[in-house]
Amino acid sequence: MSAKTEAPVLSSWLDFQWVGKEVGLWFNALAIIGQRIAEISPSMSDNSSTPATAARGKLVDLYIAAEEKEELEQYATNLPRIRLTARNAADLELLANGSFSPLDRYMGRDDYLRVLEEMCLGNGSLFPIPITLSVGRDAPIKLDADVALVDDHNDLLAVMRIEEIYEWNLNTESELIYGTTDPRHCMISEMNSWGSLNLSGTIRIFQSPRHRDFCALRLSPREVRKRLAALGQENVVAFQTRNPLHRGHQEMIRRALNQVDGTLLIHPVVGLTKPGDIDHYTRTRSYKLLVEKYLDPDRTVLALLPLAMRMAGPREALWHAIIRRNYGATHFIVGRNHASPGNDSRGKPFYEASAAQRLLAKYREETGVCPLPFSEFVYLPEEDRYEEISRVSGSQETQAMSGTELRDLLNRGKPIPEWIIQPEIGKILSEAHLPGAQQGFCVWLTGLSCSGKSTTAEVLTTRLLEDGRRVTLLDGDVVRTHLSKGLGFSAEDRDTNIRRIGFVAAEIVKHGGAVICAAVSPFRASRNECRSMVGDEHFIEVFVDCPLEICEQRDKKGMYALARQGNIKDFTGIASPYEPPVNAELTLDTANSSVIENVDRITSYLNDRGFLPAEVFESREIH
């Protein structure tokens, strides 16, 4: 049953009889009906007590037999290679071990289009997220030929027979899957860098991407099912998370287990999550401590999921339920803002609160997983306990703390109150989280050529160095001379240059450094992709706003004049557009404000965000 068709599958078979199609259609219809009956019949009874269908069913397994590995690997060494991104590699691993069952390949055109339009595969199986392998038109591919799939270290992972090559449309996928084309969404900005062709075909895998951390917790669906079965409970409650678990989460889990009388599967995502999330090393240490000290080990399995999240809100929640079904879950805890990417360019949430809960309830029978929806939990200080806000009377005193407020405490080196999080977990987070003045940040200055970016960047860099802050300046022209030598000024080359700057900036910020980037960076999508690389909480976009006519007056190199004469092609502001930020952290008016005034505004903002030592800023204010 597709997402758009509410009639039972059987009605499509009756349609065949009514219309009187030829015999071949009868056989096809009967095959589909038989498959669907096998998939959905166990879930027709009350889901609160019936294990999920796939927990008893067959999982996809794309790994070749051990005796074939050496021969296939040797064969792969001589094949054209396609280098997988981190997202592609994560998808490959979960395709291989059955996490995405019944999907057994990167999607072909039929599967892809039906997922976009109907949230199902070509055979009618519910599947709401496209799993694709995109390449550029210059990729070494041809139909009915083999290619080797390699990771970012060029290690061989698999051999793929290319059976389909088809085009995809960025705006169509963005609208249908994510409900937006706003590049502030981390996936939309990333998708702008994908190739224009999708590949599909049979995959033979001889090696998964290597993981050297927490190996004992990286369990496949088969391994998790086995551990769950050993605990002897029929019902399994899965809890998905990409954040440390606070006491409100603990209360949610306790209630869910009491409600269904089952086993708990804590299944945190340790692949690609929302940019800026707490690293999975710190989170996993906190999960292990929580299980060992605060949860019942006889009712709990902790396993890590190397999933590349899409932050697709309701669709993603449904996808997560299908994945947990494959790991043996019968129930799935879902919050009000599951897999939310945050706010859009205008400060509005991308997805409506509780939309994920409603979608999971709608497809409960189709997934075979019973959703357990919860509203926000608040703390009742007079009773020292947590309660759902929907159950609290207006006269009761409550306390709540957002994730932003929690991160603010960590940034400022303040202790986390024990009513929020268990003290041992708070200690782990505090030790792993540098105070704001020691954290990295990126100030990204964007604007037309000659708008004042480089001058502002140079004065800001000097100011920060004077104050003892480690800082690196990445000027667009200098980067082009060294890191991006040979690139032209086409839209593609400019995007490539900006992504290179963004990659370097992200590495600097990751290691606690401050970086000032001054580049025209005319396209919103590439700037937002850099924001995603760095992390939203460490990225400060500064729009250096200056009218074009003033920029031309300042142009001592004569670049604008050459562009107007047609001697420089695709020059931003003349022959190529500049897309100003929709909601930048700061906007500087360089036509009417001095460079010192503008730098003061930036440092004041950095101080307010906690990125500068308060005593240094106060000392500068005094003098």
By annotation, the residues acting in catalysis are: 521
Cα–Cα distance, 303 to 269 (Å, whole number):
9
CB 183, CB 528: distance < 8 Å: yes
Q: Is residue 81 within 8 Å of residue 147, measured between CB atoms?
A: yes
| Dihedrals phi, psi of 358, to nearest 5 degrees | -65, -40
d(CA 525, CA 334): 31
CA angle 105, 107, 113 (to 5 degrees): 160
- Which residues, other chains included, contact 75 with Cβ-Cβ below 8 Å and sequence gap of 6+? 146, 159
Cα 221 to Cα 340: distance, rounded to the nearest angstrom:
25
Q: Closest Cα partner for 180 from 315, 351, 359, 353?
A: 351
Q: Which residues touch 70 (CB under 8 Å, ≥6 apart)?
A: none
Query: Which uninterrupted H or E stretch holds 532?
Result: helix 524-534
Q: Distance (Å, rounded) from C-alpha 131 to C-alpha 95?
A: 9
**Alpha-carbon span 350 to 373, nearest angstrom:** 20
Long-range contacts of range 420-426, CB-CB < 8 Å, 24 or more positions apart? Answer: 420/246, 420/247, 420/379, 421/244, 421/246, 421/247, 422/247, 422/250, 422/289, 422/290, 422/293, 422/294, 424/289, 424/293, 425/244, 425/245, 425/286, 425/289, 425/290
Q: Can you read off the two tokens belonging to residue 413?
A: 């080196």
Decide: 296 and 261 in contact? Cβ < 8 Å.
no
How far, in Å, CA of 229 to CA of 296, rounded? 16
Residue 110, C-beta contacts closer than 8 angstroms, at least 6 positions apart: 122
Helix-helix angle 280-294:423-432, to 10 degrees = 170
- Omega before residue 417 within 30° of 0, cis: no
